[in-house]
């Protein structure tokens, strides 16, 4: 599911920040945003922009540091929203006044405001696209736990698989009838000598292994290398871990247990599993605290955790705030 980057939300709480006489913390669902005191009140509707949004300069020129020119991304001048700390208070996102009086809570204003998702494009320079990402496969993206503050309780007592979220780039290898391919998160890639994506897929024989099942499947996983995302995971060479398998014919993801068993059968590396049967009974703050911890490789803190209901009905991610402050 594509992220809604700018949506109408309601202010649920206004918190004082110790030793701060000009700014306060506004709470929106599971997010906290620092802004000027008195700008908004409890129950006010606002446009909330999530972190990793690319905000056009014309919309919020104050995001650019005084004396600096705005940055540019995909031809648009602006700034990327990051996790920051102001007066010791974590701040994640941006609040904007409503642009329409008849706006309704949950309404998506991303396209209207020209807000797009920022992605690190540095490692994509040598990618040759064969075409768009296949429309018969869902793109990989999990909902952030902060957006589920009001709905999380519905899933209390339910069983979840918990896996480590790694910092790399999404790679999908698929077979659909006579068609097969390897994709980044957004495009279907040509096979070239310098493609890290195809190198990983070929070294693991992903497409031949899919063919051996006699099924139309898409293997989705995280690709890590020394040339991707600054090699936060400190891998040597190229590494790929499967985190999802999509059945193209039934248009359903395999259940976590089915995925793990098929990966074992095909000798495909699987993402690290923290718990196979985790019973959810935690609020947003507790899940964010649990997201902190060691990663897969020595000396690396994990990006976070991913939760997938074992019946396949619901999933989300909790990203470590310490990771976001340092790298995100």
Picking from 158, 157, 143, the residue whose alpha carbon sits closest to that of residue 310 is 158
Same domain, 92 and 213: no
Query: Residue 213: how many CB atoms within 10 A of its CB?
Result: 13
Query: Greater confidence, 226 or 72?
Result: 72
DSSP assignment letter at 229: G
Same domain, 163 and 106: no
Handedness of CA 150, 154, 156, 161 (dihedral sign): negative
Cα 157 from Cα 154, distance rounded (Å):
9
Q: Which domain range does residue 45 map to?
A: 6-118
Task: Quote the percentage of the chain above a pLDDT of 70.
Answer: 97
The last residue of one of the domains, among 98, 118, 138, is: 118
In total, how many domains does the chain have?
A: 2
pLDDT at 195: 87
pLDDT reading at 265 higher than 70: yes
Same domain, 40 and 23: yes
pLDDT at 123: 58
Beta bridge partners of 185: none
Query: Residue 203: how many CB atoms within 10 A of its CB?
Result: 11
Task: Calculate mean pLDDT across residues 276-287.
Answer: 97
The last residue of one of the domains, among 118, 134, 154, is: 118
Where helices occur in 99-167 by DSSP H, the ranges are: 110-113
Same domain, 85 and 184: no
pLDDT reading at 127 higher than 80: no
In a domain, residue 84? The reply is: yes
In a domain, residue 93? The reply is: yes
DSSP assignment letter at 190: P
CB 324 within 8 A of CB 301: no
pLDDT at 75: 93
Same domain, 59 and 196: no
pLDDT in tens, 92-102: 999 999 877 77
Q: How confident is the model at residue 122 (pLDDT cuts 50, 70, 90)?
A: low
Cα 137 from Cα 77, distance rounded (Å):
32
Number of alpha carbons in the 13 Å side-chain half-sphere of residue 220? 21
Cα 23 from Cα 128, distance rounded (Å):
47
pLDDT in tens, 162-210: 999 998 889 999 999 999 999 998 899 999 988 889 999 999 999 999 9
Same domain, 96 and 225: no
Cα 258 from Cα 261, distance rounded (Å):
5
Cα 101 from Cα 249, distance rounded (Å):
45
pLDDT at 49: 97
Same domain, 138 and 82: no
Same domain, 166 and 292: yes
Q: What is the reported pTM?
A: 0.91
The last residue of one of the domains, among 99, 118, 137, is: 118
Residues 6+ apart with CB under 8 A from 312: 252, 253, 255, 256
């Amino acid at each position: 599911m594509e992220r809604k980057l700018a949506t109408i939300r309601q202010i649920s709480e206004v918190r004082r920040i110790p030793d701060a006489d000009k700014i306060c913390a506004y709470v929106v669902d599971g997010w906290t945003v620092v802004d000027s005191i008195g700008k908004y009140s409890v129950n006010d509707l606002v446009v909330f922009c999530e972190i990793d949004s690319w905000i056009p300069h014309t919309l919020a020129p104050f995001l650019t540091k005084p004396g600096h020119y705005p940055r540019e991304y995909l031809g648009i001048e602006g700034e990327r929203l990051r996790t920051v700390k102001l007066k010791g208070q974590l701040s994640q996102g941006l609040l904007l006044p409503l642009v329409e009086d008849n706006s309704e809570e949950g309404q998506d204003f991303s396209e209207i405001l020209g807000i797009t998702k920022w992605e690190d494009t540095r490692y994509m320079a040598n990618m040759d696209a064969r075409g768009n990402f296949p429309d018969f496969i869902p793109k990989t993206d999990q909902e952030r736990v902060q957006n589920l503050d009001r709905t999380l309780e519905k899933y209390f007592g339910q069983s979840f698989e918990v896996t480590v979220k790694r910092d790399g780039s999404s790679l999908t290898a698929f077979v659909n009838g006579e068609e097969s391919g390897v994709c980044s998160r957004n495009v279907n890639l040509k096979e070239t000598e310098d493609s890290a994506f195809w190198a990983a897929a070929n070294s693991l024989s992903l497409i031949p292994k899919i063919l051996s099942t006699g099924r139309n499947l898409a293997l989705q996983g995280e690709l890590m290398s020394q040339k991707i995302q600054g090699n936060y995971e400190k891998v040597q060479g190229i590494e790929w871990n499967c985190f999802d398998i999509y059945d193209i014919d039934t248009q359903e993801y395999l259940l976590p247990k089915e995925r793990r068993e098929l990966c074992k059968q095909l000798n495909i590396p699987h993402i690290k599993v923290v718990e196979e049967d985790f019973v959810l009974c935690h609020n947003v703050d507790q899940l964010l605290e649990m997201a902190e911890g060691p990663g897969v490789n020595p000396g690396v803190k994990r990006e976070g955790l991913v939760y997938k209901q074992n019946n396949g009905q619901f999933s989300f991610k909790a990203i470590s705030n310490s990771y976001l402050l340092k790298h995100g």
